């Protein structure tokens, strides 16, 4: 929650690889948050791998670009 208070930061808490993939592809997040007491190291590494390798779909899908722009407008 605190990370998203910093201008330009769009953070997502991800508990599994699917959540990480959706956070990047749909929301163009630029910070990944993991629960240290909840997620083990093997799962954490897989979540990071998926998040780092997923591209944002907003270049090809206008609905995602509009959604992210709404958040950026609020951030501004």
Is a pLDDT exceeding 90 seen at residue 16? yes
Q: How far is CA 73 from CA 4, 33, 44, 66, in A?
A: 14, 23, 31, 10
Is a pLDDT exceeding 90 seen at residue 71? no
pLDDT tens string 18-70: 999 999 999 999 999 999 888 999 999 999 999 999 999 998 889 999 989 99
Q: Assess contact for 72 and 43: CB atoms under 8 A.
A: no
Q: What is the pLDDT of residue 69?
A: 92
Q: Assess contact for 12 and 32: CB atoms under 8 A.
A: yes
Question: Global pTM?
Answer: 0.86
Task: Give, rounded to a whole angstrom, the gap between the first and last alpha carbons of the chain.
Answer: 17
Q: Assess contact for 12 and 29: CB atoms under 8 A.
A: yes
**Comparison of pLDDT for 72 and 16, the residue scoring more:** 16
């Amino acid at each position: 929650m605190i990370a998203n208070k910093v201008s330009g930061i769009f953070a997502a808490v991800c508990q599994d690889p699917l959540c990480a993939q959706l956070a990047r592809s749909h929301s163009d997040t630029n910070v990944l948050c993991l629960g240290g007491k909840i997620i083990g190291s093997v799962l954490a590494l897989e979540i990071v791998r998926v998040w780092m390798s997923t591209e944002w779909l907003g270049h090809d899908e206008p609905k995602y670009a509009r959604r992210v722009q709404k958040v950026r407008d609020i951030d501004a």
